[in-house]
A and B are shown apart, each in its own frame.
Chain A
């Protein structure tokens, strides 16, 4: 077996970056684990930035008629807070786990297209850079993350603020679609032998479904942004009523993307929780198939509910009723998931570690957000709540109480796999409870404020409104929440150095990523595993209890007690024979790893420069009626050249 342990690189037919350490090794890496780590670190940094913006908003709203920021700055803050949290924090944090965990869960050595993966990451970084460069130019997007027309119209918003936003999002969209295409191909095509679709861990399932939603939802906003770009740069009037355009078209195109986007953000969280709860309940996931079907149902229905964001635009009773019905319908598969998590915990031996606390936190807090969401399916209620703080309370309960809780749980859960060390449990529990309290202090009173009529996006309110009391509580809660996130950062920093050594499988979890060392070797699996069970590690460890159990079931035991049953592996003579032959055949092969490449980053840089040239002042070349900024031309040439370089560079 000695020959297998050493990864071999092929003879390199052309100059390829080879460094194994240092900054170039990170820039040119195509290793899904390194890319996942980079995604995670970058997204968390943006999460902190978005949090800072939120704290500034809360400082402004702490007192009536406060003057910490001006109304213009306030518009910029809530725009950047929303855009940053959605596109630069929650989505890429989920993608970090897609990248790192999903290939390990299906027993693959990498994703299907390692270089495309690297491209996705760099496009994400540069799109984020484009968006945030606006701060340095002093022209910060101020039209809200939804960018409704005519707030983005050139006549109302003549600075380059919208340009930064629109081109930044465009680049981020390319990154997301490229990443999603890669993940789908990986999951469908690179499953280890025996990993059938219905044996895939639920996190892998949600990765698959989220990616499908991404490739189908993002085109809509890409086209909307493209039309907006035409409006602003070329002078068409797609969203300008004076020219015959229709501002409502923007809303439709935006929400056809925007609502699936909501599920793109929560679906990975569902997957994460579906991994954590069984592990710490010491039971297989309750109703696995139904969980899978409900994920698919949510994704399908998610494309048919967008107009509930537009109930107050006057679509008419027919459209309103139809979308109210689909919105209520989508609560069903979501409710099924909640019940299945409870069913998994039912009669389980619950171990309340930090990841489990956050996971159960999601089950409870997301349910609150889900319930206030169903309320908005009722059109008259929606009209009452529209543009009030009630809506803010609702979507923070699903996005923070849902997505962020799950992502924090995921970091606690998989941290040992990433680093080889466990995170500190005592700090972790403090972290959970402060987050939990801070979160509820921040967002629960917003329900009251909304019902009392406090509108969204107003930079100030009067003394006589009577809103000051809850606003002080909310702002205090926000600082508390901020402090709890700092505690989390401290815990990560400390645990990196002094955390307990984890070992391969510190939680005694059942999925494949725990079968290899922590952190995993660069080639992931020394031997590609053969899977014969949905919970492979439990099946292997606890085996089949032929004495008491049904022959097709195995029992999971914990501390000598039976915890649950699950389907038995197919351990027939034939499969043993196959395994023996495979082992023999395995002796002669080395592990083959893809080479590094700098073209993916170069393509992303070219794309960035292409867009950037349109924003900054630079000489313009005129060819007939075309006027091309010289920087954009250079960017285009870099991009095209890098695409050719990429195409003709051997993949491995």
Chain B
């Protein structure tokens, strides 16, 4: 069974210079999941934001958790989502 590809959105504070962390995370997800992602959307924002959602579920929020996410934690959230919809990762 093929899973529905997963959409990841990263909302980052452009005023805060969070581009390197954003690109590092996007790159890690691209290499890990390739075509199993329907897309990675990068959203420049403000106010110290660094939010990551996987298919609409907030898996990391700088305001909530503090700091940047470990890429492995985000990868795990993507794997869980893919598994839930039927793919073997």
A and B associate in one complex: no
Please report A residues at the B interface, Cβ cutoff 8 Å: none
Interface residues of B (CB under 8 A from A): none
